[in-house]
Structure 1
Amino acid sequence: MLATIQDGAVLDAIRTHTQAENPSAFLALGSGNETFSQTGLNGVVVYRRTGRFAVQFGGPFAAEDDYGPLLNAFRQYVADEGLTLVGVQLQARDAAEYARRGFVVNQVGASWAVSLAEFSLRGTRFMQLRNKISRALRNGLVVQEVKAEDWADGLRTIDEAWLGSKGGARPLEFLVGEIGGEGQAERRLFVGTIDGAPVAYISYSPVYGSRAGWMHDLSRRIPEGSPGLMEAVNAHAIEVFRAEGVPWLHFGFTPFTGLDAAHEQDGHSPAFQWLMHALWQGGDALYPARTQLSYKQKWAPDLLVPEYVAFDGPASVASFAHIFRACNAF
C-alpha cells in the first residue's frame, strides 16, 4: 500500500537516515519532486516522472532494516505503473545494494568537498584565487548573508541576466538547488553587491551525516560583472562557516568527473563507462563539466566521492537522457 507523505517527512528522513552519506540529500526537498513510501516501512524514496521513466534521486532515505524492503517496494510500484526505473546520484553504499538486485550500475561522476578545520587561502597554490578575490573587492564588492525573501527582486535580476547570457537556457532543476520552496528556511544565502546593486549570490544547502556541513549549491552572477565575484562570495562564506566550527564544505555533484575504473561495480556496463569518459572529453554541449570542475579544484578539495547511475535493465542512452529531462535541461 502506498503511504501518504506528511509535511516535513522528507526533511526528517534525510536528517535521520544518513547511512549513504549523500552530500546532496537536501535536494530531495526540491519543488516538483514526487515521493514514495510504504506503510510499515520507515523511509521515503524521491523521484520524478519523465515520459515513461521514473528517475529516482539517490537511494531510499530509510532506516537500515527498511532500506531493502522499501527499494523493493518502489521498484515494484514503478513496474506496476508501466515505467522504467533509473536512479541517479547513488552513493557507493546505494550502488552496491542496487547491483546486488540486478541493476546495471555505473559511475556517472563525483562530488567534491573541502575540510574546513585547517583550511586557509595562504600559500602559492591559492595565489591566483587570492588575486581574483582581491580584484572583486577592489571593484567594490560587499558580501553579506541575507534572507532570500528580502532580496527577491535582486535575485531575479541576477537570474535573468545569467540565463540570458546562456542564450535563454532553462533553469536546471532536480539535481540542483533552488531559491524558495519547502526547504528555504534551512538554506543559507550569501549575496555580493557593488554600489548597492546585487551582482552575485551563492545558496548553501545543509549536509548531514559524518561529513556534515554545507553544500555550495545554486550560484549565479551578473555575466559582465567584475572577475572574482563567485570566488569572493564563497571565500566570505567559508570564513563564516569556519568561525562557526563547520567541518565540511561540499561542492556538489559534477557528472563525468572523477571517473576511475576502481570505482565501478561488478556487472557495470563497459559501453556506458566508455560513454562517460567520452562525455568528459567532449560533452560540453551537454553539460559544462570541465568548467564546473575547474571552479571546484580552485579550492583544493580534500575529498572525492564517486556517484552512480543505476538502470533497471540495460544501460541505455534513452534512460540516461531522461535524467537530463528530469533536470529540465531539454
Structure 2
Amino acid sequence: MTQGTVTEAAHASAEYALEAIRKYTRAENPSSFLAVNRGNSYFTLPGRPGIIVYRPAGKYLVQFGGPFAPDESYVDLMRAFTEYTVAHGRRQAIIQLQLHDARIHARHGYTVNQVGASYAVDLGAFTVAGTRYMQLRNKISRALRSGLTVVEADYEQWQEGVADIDRRWLPLKGEGARPLEYLVGQTGGDMQRLRRLFLGHIDGEAIGYVSYSPVYGTYDGWMHDLSRRLPESPAGVMEACNKAAIDTFRAEGVPWLHFGFTPFTTLEEEREMPGHSLGFKWLMHYLWENQVVYPASSQLAYKDKWNPTLVTTEYAGFPDGASAEGFVNIWRAANAM
C-alpha cells in the first residue's frame, strides 16, 4: 500500500485493513474488527505499514482507535493524519483509544479523556451456577419453555429473518431512534464469513439473534456485538442466544468473550491521562448520571449479568483540545445524532 491521501486511501481495501488489525491490534483492543465495517475510510502512508480508520462527520474526521500499525510507523501515521486533517480544513476527533494508544497520544500533546469502558468474561472460569445467576438461569429457562430453539445459524440461510428482526427491532429503542453505525458491527457483506451468528427461532420464525465478531490480540476470542429481537419475543431470548454461544465457545477452547464498548461507564479518576480536559471529564460524568445520549446503564446491566472479569478503559482524543463539538461529531459519525 502506497496511498498517502484521503482521496486515494479511501479505496484501500477492507482486506488490507483486516490484515493490519490482525497483525497490529494492541493486546487490549476488543473492537478492532469494526475497522472493516462497510462505509469506513482508510488513511495510509507510503512506505509505512499500518492504517488509520475514520469517517467524516460535519467538519470532523472521526478516527476509530489508534493507528493499527507497528511501533516503527505508529507515530508517523498518527502525526500525518492529523496534519492532513488540518491541511484540508477539517478537525479531528478520535474515539476508542486503548490505554497504549492513549499514553502515546497524550505524550504527543493530544488531549485524551476517558469516555467509557469495555468488558470481557474469562470463559475458562465462567459458570452460571450459584445464587448470583439464579435470575439469569430462570430467564433462559422460561424462554426455552416458550418454544425457543437457539442455533448457530448460517447467515445466508437466515438473512431474511435477520433483516425482518432489524426492521421491527428499531421501534423498541424509542421514537425517532436510528440504528447505530461505526462503533457497532454489521451483518452481511464480504466480512460476514468471519463473524458468527447465534439465532433464536420459534417454529422456524427468527425472533432474535446475537452476532459475534472476532477479537485479536492477547485477549483473543469473540465479541458479543449486535443483539436484536422482535418486539413480541419472550423475555430471555438474548440471554439464551448468548448462553448457547458461550457453551459453544467453551467447548472450542475460546479463552475470552468480550461485550464491547459502553460509553460513560467505569469512569475512574486514576485512569485519566495527564493533561486531560476537566470540562470533557465533567461532561462524561454528566452523561452517565443523566442518560440523555445513550442508555449506558441498561447496557451495562446486561453485561454485568455475565460477571465480566476484565474491564478495559477506553478514551477519546483531540489534537487541538477536547470540545463538546468534537464529541457531538463522534456521535454523528455513529448515526446517534
Offset at residue 178 of structure 1 (A): 0.7
Check the 8 A contact 1:21/1:210 in 2, yes or no. Answer: yes
Quick check: 2:14–2:36 contact (8 Å CA) kept in 1?
Answer: no
Q: Could you say which residue in structure 2 is the equivalent of 1:234?
A: 242
Runs (5+) with no aligned partner, structure 1: none
Note the 1:193-232 alignment, pairs <5 A: 193-232=201-240
SS at match of 2:118: strand
Gaps of 5+ in 2: none
Match of 2:271 in 1: 263
Map residues 105-144 of structure 1 onto 2, 5 A cutoff: 105-144=112-151
Q: Which runs of 4+ in 1 moved over 4 A?
A: none
Q: Is the 8 A contact 1:20 1:94 kept in 2?
A: no
Distance 1:142 1:117 in 2: 25
Q: Give 1:120 shift.
A: 1.1
Quote the residue 1:158 is aligned against.
165
Out of 161, 169, 175, the position equivalent to 2:177 is: 169
Correspondence list, 1:268-287, <5 A? 268-283=276-291, 285-287=292-294
Supply the distance in 2 between the matched residues of 1:183 and 1:53 (Cα, whole angstroms): 27
Task: State the Cα deviation string for residues 221-268 of structure 1 (Å, max 9, x = none).
Answer: 112211111000000000000000000000000000011011100000
User: What is the one-letter code of the residue matched to 2:320?
Assistant: G
Q: Check the 8 A contact 2:27/2:218 in 1, yes or no.
A: no
Give the RMSD, CA atoms, in angstroms. Answer: 1.1
Output one character per residue of 1:168-207: Cα deviation in whole Å (capped at 9) or x when no partner: 5211100001111342111000100012211100000000
Q: CA deviation at 1:20?
A: 5.2
Shift of 1:22: 1.0
In 2: Cα distance, 1:165 partner to 1:264 partner: 35
Question: d(CA) in 1 for partners of 2:121 and 2:28?
Answer: 15
Give the structure 1 partner of residue 295 of structure 2.
288
**Separation (CA, whole Å) in 2 of partners of 1:182 and 1:102:** 38
| AA at the equivalent of 1:329 | A
TM-score (norm 2): 0.95
Residue deviations 1:26-71, cap 9 Å, x none? 0001111110000110000000001110100000000121111111
Count of aligned positions: 329
The 5 Å alignment of 1:3-152 reads 4=9, 5-6=12-13, 8-19=15-26, 21-152=28-159
Letter in 2 for 1:306: T
Structure 1 SS opposite 2:48: coil
Report the Cα distance in structure 2 between the residues aligned to 1:147 and 1:6, rounded to whole angstroms.
25
Distance 2:14 2:97 in 1: 24
**Under a length normalisation based on structure 1, what TM-score does the superposition of the two structures give?**
0.97
Secondary structure at the counterpart of residue 82 of structure 1: coil
User: Which of 12-21 and 40-49 deviates more?
Assistant: 12-21
Partner of 2:56, secondary structure, is strand
Aligned-residue offset at 1:80: 1.2
Q: Secondary structure at the match of 2:197?
A: strand
Partner letter of residue 46 of structure 2? T
Distance of aligned partners of 1:267 and 1:244 in 2 relative to their CA distance in 1, 3 Å threshold: same
Offset at residue 19 of structure 1 (A): 2.6
Contact 1:30 1:181 in 2 (8 A): no
Structure 1: distance between partners of 2:336 and 2:77:
29
From 308, 322, 325, give the equivalent of 2:315.
Answer: 308
Could you tell me which amino acid in structure 1 is paired with residue 88 of structure 2? E
State the AA in 2 paired with 1:85.
Answer: Q
Distance 1:250 1:195 in 2: 30
- Residue 7 of structure 1, CA deviation: 5.0
Contact 1:109 1:258 in 2 (8 A): yes
Q: Aligned in 2, Cα 1:273/1:118: closer, same or farther, shift over 3 Å? A: same
Following the alignment from structure 1 to structure 2, what is the Cα–Cα distance between the partners of residues 55 and 77? 13
